[in-house]
Amino acid sequence: MVGAAVDLSVLDPLDPANLGTLTIGSLLIIVAIASNFAAGYAPFWQHRRKAVIGVGMIPRGEVGLIFAPMGLASGILDKGMFAAITLMVMSATFVSPPLLRWLLPPSKKPHPIERPEGIDDLVTESK
C-alpha cells in the first residue's frame, strides 16, 4: 500500500521541478547503502566475512516504510520526500540479493542427500 501512495509524477526526471526530489532520493540511496554496508564492519573484534554481513544489512529500511505514510498523512513529509524515501527503501531492497549472490557463489560440489534415521524401515522397494 505504501508504494501505491507514491505520486510517480514527482519522480519524472524530465521535469526540472523534480530535480530536488531526485537529488535527495539519490543521496538517500547512497547513504543508506553505504552506511548499512559499513555496519557490517562495526564489530572489529569479529573475524568473519564482513562484506557479506554488510551487504546483508543493506535492505534494512522497512521501518521507514512504516513511518513514511504517517509522515505524509500528518504533513511532515511532502509528496516528493515520501517518494524519495520509498525509492530509497526499494533500491536498497533490490540491490542486496545480486550482491549477496556475487559474494556467496553456489558451491561446486553437490550436497549429499541425507536420509532421515529409520526411513529405510518405511520405504519398501517394489520388484
16-20 mean pLDDT: 83
Longest CA span, the chain: 77
Q: How far is it, in rounded angstroms, from Cα 16 to Cα 18?
A: 5
For the stretch 21-39, pLDDT in tens is 889 989 999 999 999 899 8
108-122 mean pLDDT: 68
CB 32 within 8 A of CB 55: no
The CA–CA distances, whole Å, from 97 to 52, 73, 93, 112, 124 equal 11, 32, 8, 26, 42
> CA quadruple 72, 77, 79, 82: dihedral positive or negative?
negative
64-84 mean pLDDT: 87
Report the pLDDT value the prediction gives residue 27, as an integer from 0 to 100: 95
Indicate the helix (H) or strand (E) that contains 50: helix 50-57
61-75 mean pLDDT: 85
CB 56 within 8 A of CB 40: yes
Helix (H, G, I), strand (E, B) or coil at 82: helix
Residue-level length of the chain: 127
For the stretch 44-58, pLDDT in tens is 787 778 888 899 888
Task: Please give the share of the chain, as a percent, with pLDDT higher than 70.
Answer: 87
